[in-house]
Amino acid sequence: MPEIVILGAGVMGSAMAFPATANRNSVTLVGTHLDRAIIDSVSATGRHPRLGVTMPAGVVALHHDRFASALTERTALVILGVSSAGVDWAIDKLGQDLKRAIPILMITKGLATRGGSIEILPIKVSRGLEERLGFRVPVMAVGGPCIAGELAARRPSSVVFTGGPGTPLEETVHLMATDFYFARPARDLVGVEAAVALKNLFVIGVTSVAGRLEREGRAENDAVMHNLAASLFAESVREIAYLVQTLGGDPLTAYGLPGVGDLYVTSQGGRTALLGRYLGMGLTYRQAREQHLAGITIEAAELAAAVGPTLQAMTQDGRLDAARIPLALAIVDAVISDRPLVTDWQAFHHP
């Protein structure tokens, strides 16, 4: 029986145990230093307190200081489920405990900056591990519309697994795909990862319409603002495609599961959608955080802070055409400059 080790016991990392065990793999769930209460609960009762479900029978839950003991000669895959802010910690942890090139499948979403440019996280992880270990580790990733709670409830979900040359992509799909978790391979690593990360940024724009509707109210005839939301959704996809292409991916990827699909599902709710709503109501980012979202990690805001200045610099030196990303720049400005979110509708109607 193949063994799969999941590093990171948050909702998405833990939800991956459901297709993994359904496909007859042995699963060990290892928490980070932030997951102690989750691991204690799963170990004692089998219940995951944040997912609100009982974990599959046979899942072993361990604290991070026992990660090395979870890695055996039968370990076929490590699923990396830390937050984007925890990637550096994960690189150090993996670099300390990996003794051979066990393939890694990342569900962490985000982008990083390096040398004035933007790179995808699997490349950062791959480079960091090779520097520490002295050998290359295959690093792959998952992209597509997949809400953790639905996956844990075994609701049908469709995703793509992506990896560069030399990664065991088809074998990894075979390890994880089930009759409720539909996975297919895709070799556009940069495109998939850029699209699924960038969609978080654009969800802020799409969901700002809900806040604007609250602020302005329904029309006399009870009309709402579906037209505005659809316009922002379409603009988001167009800008994602352009940014994906600029970063070296296939722009068509933006029109598939990692782009349109993930943008749609993330716009349906969650922390990023809440932030968009509050900005649409006219609050600044700081006001939204202090009044409604204190202590809550919002990866879309972290992404804007991490890569926003680089996006702005790339428009200034000509690597990006500012006229082709007006919504992205408006969202970045709202987050990092703490100004109200202003959408220039005329800017969306350029040739």
Distance CA 42, CA 205 (A): 37
| Annotated catalytic residue 124 | no
87-113 core/surface letters (b: 16 or more CB in 10 A; e: else)? beebbebbbebbeeebbbbbbbbbbbb
| Catalytic pick among 93, 109, 124, 199 | 199
Distance CA 72, CA 276 (A): 44
CA-based nearest residue to 120, from 286, 293, 303:
303
Q: Is 171 helix (H, G, I), strand (E, B) or coil?
A: helix
Give the angle subtended at the CA of 77 by the CAs of 74 and 81, to the nearest 5°.
135
Within 10 Å of residue 290's Cβ, how many Cβ atoms? 11
Are 208 and 232 contacting, i.e. CB atoms less than 8 angstroms apart?
Answer: yes
Distance CA 122, CA 270 (A): 25
Sign of CA dihedral 58, 64, 70, 76: positive
User: Would you state the structure tokens that stand for residue 151, as one six-digit string?
Assistant: 């996956």
Distance CA 84, CA 310 (A): 17
Q: Is 37 helix (H, G, I), strand (E, B) or coil?
A: helix
Residue whose structure tokens are 């990171």 = 8
E strand residue ranges, the chain? 3-7, 26-30, 47-48, 53-54, 60-62, 75-80, 104-106, 111-114, 117-120, 139-143, 157-163, 181-186
Q: Which amino acid, one-letter code, is at 40?
A: D
> Could you list the active site residues?
199
